[in-house]
Amino acid sequence: MTIRRAHPIDPAALKELRTADDAGRRMRPVTDEEGGAPLRCCLRRSAPGERIALVSYAPLRRWAAGTGVDPGAYDEQGPVFIHAEECGGPDGDALPFANAHRTVRRYSADGRILGGRLVESGAFEEAFTAAFADPEVALLHVRAVEYGCFLYEVRRPR
């Protein structure tokens, strides 16, 4: 089974985040002089000179709201980079940010954490397949190891 659909932040959520983030703060755009910030709107690294913003995002809260569940204590928010203006989203279906160790966190359909796994570069398909072999797993979050930052979600294949 190939599971390659990484979901960026939804365009409607991005529009809201560009007004006020999930912590209620106004967006503060900056020009990225160096480039390299992991953008969650288009799932690529920023280029030097692009206008970006660091905003607070609650991925499980937003997913839960769309599915009608309450994530309870698992509701968390954290920093993510986005383009300061609307962008075209991901370009292609290549798995983003897969060139480093990541954590793959598993969630149930009722928004509870079912565990996680440290995944080495190049072993994401195997980790996704193993996670979705458990029928209780509805959603995966791929996160940075260093700070635990949310990178993108992968949903159970239909």
Q: Give residue 116's domain range.
A: 102-155
Can you tell me which residue has the tokens 């458990």?
Answer: 134
Per-residue pLDDT tens, the chain, 158 aa: give them: 555 689 999 999 999 999 999 999 999 999 999 999 999 999 999 999 999 999 999 999 999 999 999 999 999 999 999 999 999 999 887 889 988 899 999 999 999 999 999 999 889 989 999 999 999 999 999 999 988 889 999 999 87
CA 20 distance to own-chain centroid: 18
Whether residues 51 and 108 share a domain: the answer is no
pLDDT of residue 157: 82
pLDDT of residue 41: 97
Whether residues 18 and 79 share a domain: the answer is yes
Other C-beta atoms within 10 Å of 146: how many?
Answer: 8
Give the chain's domain count. 2
Evaluated on CA atoms 4, 103, 145, 109, the torsion sign reads positive
The C-alpha atoms of residue 143 and residue 141 are separated, in whole angstroms, by 6
pLDDT of residue 87: 95
On whether residue 78 sits in a domain, the answer given is yes
On whether residue 65 sits in a domain, the answer given is yes
Whether residues 30 and 75 share a domain: the answer is yes
Can you tell me which residue has the tokens 């529009």?
Answer: 15
Q: Where are the alpha helices (DSSP H) in the chain?
A: 11-17, 59-67, 124-132
Whether residues 113 and 77 share a domain: the answer is no
